[in-house]
Amino acid sequence: MKTPLLASLQAARAAKRPVALATDLASGAQALVTPDSAEGDLALDAQALASVRRSLADDKSGAIEAGGKRLFVQVFNPPLRMIVVGAVHIAQALVPIASLAGYAVTVIDPRRAFATPERFPEVAISHEWPDEVLPKLAPDRRTAIVTLTHDPKIDDPALEAALRSDVFYVGALGSSRTHAKRLERLGAKGFGAADFARIHGPVGLSIGAKSPAEIAISILAQITQVLHGREMAEAKAAREAGKPGARELAKEAP
């Protein structure tokens, strides 16, 4: 890899921006592709760019045929993260299954009696207030934030920080009435309808969940749905940016 391209790749990874390295397997020429830019000595037409970006959206490295070339696409997506605000019983069920699903989990709760290594082994724990620690964690578009305390003093600052970021998922525990009051408080802080639409509240898919474990399952299911729904939308946008190749047409054939 040429030095300027390596520097760009390192900068993208340091900034936790999604990026893919496309290599022409015949010539060795390379291009660094992001959702909205491309650079390098490998010229990619619209179809090839769309195919590489589809691999990026799908988070899938591998060889592809695109634009008359055989390319190897290496995807460098930021890791999936989940930030759980509130070390409650639901969190005790949610944290291990989120870890199994591939999320690096951080539990935030200033109440030290709740957020202990005994209750949450092998995950990062913060006893700072959410509005203090979230800027340090720098949540990004590969991050989900879930608030579970029912305490506005803890949940609201976390939601405010989440809505000011580009996290892909924001969820808040509470009944419809609790959520309506929450939106009133956020509205008084200057947030509006577009912000409210980002919050999944009451949190989780409606599957009739009752126990903490069942609620945790519904939350992770909804996070998974949102994540892959967004990825499919990005892949569709990438596909529509270029003409489909023979493989894509074959897949769409009846």
Q: What is the pLDDT of residues 166-215, one digit of tens each?
A: 899 999 999 999 999 999 999 999 999 999 999 999 999 999 999 999 99
Q: Contact at 8 Å (CB) between 103 and 80? A: yes
Neighbouring CB atoms inside 10 A of 60's CB total 14
Over residues 105-153, the pLDDT tens digits come to 999 999 999 999 999 999 999 999 999 999 999 998 899 999 999 899 9
How many whole angstroms separate alpha carbon 170 and alpha carbon 230? 14
* Same domain, residue pair 70 and 149: no
Assigned domain for 235 exists: no
In this prediction, residue 15 carries a pLDDT of 82
What is the count of structural domains for the chain? 2
The burial class, CB within 10 Å (0-12 / 13-18 / 19+), for 209 is middle
Q: Give a yes or no: residue 250 inside a domain.
A: no
Tell whether 240 is covered by a domain.
no
Question: 141: domain CATH number?
Answer: 3.40.50.720
Which pLDDT score is estimated for 1?
86
Q: What is the pTM of this model?
A: 0.76
Residues 85 and 62 in one domain: no
Residues 90 and 210 occupy one common structural domain: yes
Give me 33's structure tokens.
């592709």
First to last CA, the chain: 42
Structural domain range at position 8: 3-78
3-state SS assignment for residue 65? strand
Domain presence at residue 117: yes
In a domain, 183, yes or no: yes
Which position has the higher pLDDT, 234 or 47? 47
Do 86 and 70 fall into the same domain?
no
Q: Do 92 and 172 fall into the same domain?
A: yes
